[in-house]
Amino acid sequence: MSELNSDHINAMQAINLIEKSLLALDETAIATNMADINEFVQLFQSEIENIDDALDRAEHLLNLIFVEQLFVDHSRPHWPINTHQLNEGMAFRSMAPALKNLLLLHIIRCCGFQIDAVYVPNDVMLRIVCDEDYAIIFNCLDGTPINWYELDQRLNNDENPNEHVTLEAISDKNLIVQYLISLKNSLIREQKFSEALQCVELILALNPNDPYHRRDRGFLLQQLDCFKVAFDDYQYFVERCPKDPQAKILQMQLDMFSSVDTVIH
């Protein structure tokens, strides 16, 4: 999908396109998704429009989202496929973080705020810039803001205390890749290998020749008995990441592939 490589990508349109391609979402469902999102935006806009102070307005908006609308979740070791779908995620107030980040970015931007995603060691968080003095950095799962002491502790590099990590904004395109990776992992866990392969192809369209995604494509091709193409992807990974612990294991598989007849698809 060439739309995903656009410099002016609309995150919600991109998610709907991905769901249409991978999860057989029809046009009616897409229209319903966007109508539901727009309804949330209009509700939130009306609730905060008379609040003059930017910080108070941002705090009230977060309260509306996480308390009044119950968009609160807890951390899980795995996120199933349905938590990667907008319609189910909004209906049951449970979304994989990679999808929820994109939805909240869209909604909060529509409410007039400058907001971006930032990497705070161990987590991707969202940052609302209220004005020159105030910003709120919070976890998308429950809306809990990080305090400045904890933020400073996380950003300081323990190995080299003279270095300090800055909060660089993560592009929407990279957030969509994170969503695709999360979706791919859930598809693999539920053994939907064909859909997971399509997911990896989309990831590679955004990050061509990434050796780790090529490795994952090789694994999926192997599950689908496409050994010849899997061989090429494994070989690519081994050549470019020879020190990776998986490289030796994959080299053994490559040696095995070479000794048997291959099935070409």
The sign of the torsion formed by the CA atoms of 94, 98, 100, 103 equals negative
61 alpha carbon, distance to own chain's centre:
23
Q: What was the pLDDT predicted at 264?
A: 47
Residues 6+ apart with CB under 8 A from 37: 12, 86, 90, 103, 106, 107
In terms of residues, how long is the chain?
265
231 alpha carbon, distance to own chain's centre:
28
Lowest mean pLDDT among 67-81, 101-115, 152-166, 191-205: 152-166
- The answer to whether residue 17 scores a pLDDT higher than 60 is yes
Q: What was the pLDDT predicted at 185?
A: 96
Q: What is the mean pLDDT of residues 45-63?
A: 96
Per-residue confidence band for 49, with pLDDT thresholds at 50, 70 and 90: very high
Q: What is the mean pLDDT of residues 105-123?
A: 95
Q: What was the pLDDT predicted at 161?
A: 55
The sign of the torsion formed by the CA atoms of 236, 208, 85, 102 equals positive
Residues 6+ apart with CB under 8 A from 60: 47, 48, 51
Contact 61, 108 (CB under 8 A): yes
Partner residues linked to 135 by β-bridges? 129
Distance CA 215, CA 230 (A): 8
One-letter amino acid at 161 equals P
Q: What was the pLDDT predicted at 265?
A: 45
Burial code (b: 16+ CB inside 10 Å, e: under 16) for 96-133 equals bbbbbbbbbbbbbebbebebbbbbbeeebbbbbebeee
For the chain, the average pLDDT equals: 89
156 versus 145: which is more confidently predicted? 145
Q: What is the mean pLDDT of residues 172-189?
A: 95
Q: What was the pLDDT predicted at 263?
A: 47
Q: Name the nearest CA neighbour of 148 among 162, 171, 167, 163.
A: 167
Give the pairing of strands 135-138 and 123-129.
antiparallel
One-letter amino acid at 57 equals R
- The answer to whether residue 18 scores a pLDDT higher than 70 is yes
- The answer to whether residue 163 scores a pLDDT higher than 80 is no
Per-residue confidence band for 154, with pLDDT thresholds at 50, 70 and 90: confident
Partner residues linked to 129 by β-bridges? 114, 135
Distance CA 161, CA 82 (A): 42
One-letter amino acid at 137 equals I
Q: Name the nearest CA neighbour of 81 among 25, 134, 39, 121.
A: 25
